[in-house]
């Protein structure tokens, strides 16, 4: 996964993937490929027929993002940032784990069959809601500008459609050529997203310079890679939820900070260099810690 991100960075430097193409590719990924991946994993998925998963998974997604942002907001003594924009950006970036593009392929590899992946998508509805409500308010320092239209996006429509088709018993009667096409399109979603992430990182590498860089990265690693995973694993152990949702919590416990906050910090008048430091610091550390946290989490929770 990190290798594909590196390829995205390389082809940006070689000017094979231009910045002008990013917007179109991102729209294709969000509006076509990601919904196809969701439908591929969710259609006929028995885990999405359980009311507990449909209710608790988004609540867990929203709550874990809120927990991360609150803890990071009180970490001024760790990162030493004094500029209000940088402090808000640190809390925003550290609070949001990589809930999709790293977690998805790991869920597919570790838990084949689709049940866990389907619950992961429903969980991410809560994450997206927190991102575009509490997250935007934190990043801007205002109570306005909430991107409600961002919540009502194509992936959410795909989740709702899959749940409805499952409940009505229609999913098992869909023609196989259609399901095959959906599967093929869905398989393109993650590679394209990882390449785009690498390209975005390449665009902001020039901004990666500051006397506070190491301290900010260390604070982000402590919160995102050490403290928050411990709290997540406690939730996975003691929260009365389904096996699939426990697996999702374990996966998310191991995740570094999400990359998309770099883009959001630029759009919502945050501090992109601070977001970049959080992403790079936690991503590099996670190369070592992801397998360790997942192994520990599965053993600790007994799943």
pLDDT surpasses 70 at 273: yes
Q: Which range is least confidently modeled, 23-27, 55-59, 87-91?
A: 23-27
pLDDT surpasses 70 at 211: no
Give which of 53, 189, 26 is closest to 108, Cα–Cα. 189
Give which of 227, 207, 211 is closest to 74, Cα–Cα. 227
Supply the mean pLDDT for the chain: 85
Average pLDDT over residues 155-178: 83
Average pLDDT over residues 187-202: 83
Domain that holds residue 247: 2-301
Q: What tokens does 110 get? A: 């570790």
The domain total for the chain is 1
Query: What's the pLDDT score for residue 148?
Result: 56
% the chain with pLDDT above 70: 92
Query: What's the pLDDT score for residue 93?
Result: 94
CATH number of the domain residue 200 falls in = 1.20.1530
Backbone phi, then psi, for 257, in 5-degree steps?
-65, 145
pLDDT surpasses 70 at 302: yes
| pLDDT band of 144, cuts 50, 70, 90 | low
- Alpha-carbon span 282 to 297, nearest angstrom: 19
């Amino acid at each position: 996964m990190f290798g594909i991100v590196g390829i995205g960075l390389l082809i940006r430097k070689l000017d094979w993937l231009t910045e002008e193409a990013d917007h179109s590719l991102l729209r294709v990924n969000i509006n076509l490929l990601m919904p196809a991946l969701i439908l591929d994993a969710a259609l006929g998925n028995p885990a999405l027929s359980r009311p507990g998963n449909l209710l608790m998974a988004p609540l867990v997604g929203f709550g874990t993002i809120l927990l991360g942002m609150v803890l990071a907001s009180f970490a001024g003594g760790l990162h030493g940032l004094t500029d209000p924009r940088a402090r808000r950006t640190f809390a925003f970036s550290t609070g949001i784990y990589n809930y999709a593009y790293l977690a998805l392929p790991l869920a597919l590899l570790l838990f084949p069959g689709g049940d866990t992946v389907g619950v992961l998508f429903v969980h991410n509805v809560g994450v997206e809601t927190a991102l575009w409500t509490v997250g935007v308010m934190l990043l801007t320092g205002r109570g306005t500008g909430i991107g409600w239209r961002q919540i009502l996006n194509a992936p959410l429509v795909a989740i709702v459609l899959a749940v409805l088709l499952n409940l009505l018993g229609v999913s098992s009667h869909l023609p196989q050529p259609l399901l095959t096409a959906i599967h093929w399109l869905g398989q393109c979603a993650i590679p394209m997203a990882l390449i785009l992430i690498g390209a975005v990182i390449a665009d902001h590498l020039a901004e990666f310079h500051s006397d506070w860089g190491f301290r900010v990265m260390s604070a982000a690693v402590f919160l995102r890679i050490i403290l928050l995973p411990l709290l997540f694993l406690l939730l996975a152990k003691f929260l009365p939820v389904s096996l699939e949702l426990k697996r999702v919590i374990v996966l998310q416990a191991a995740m570094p900070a999400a990359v998309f906050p770099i883009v959001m910090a630029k759009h919502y008048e945050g501090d992109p260099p601070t977001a970049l430091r959080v992403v790079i610091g936690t991503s590099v550390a996670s190369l070592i810690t992801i397998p360790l946290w997942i192994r520990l989490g599965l053993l600790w929770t007994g799943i």
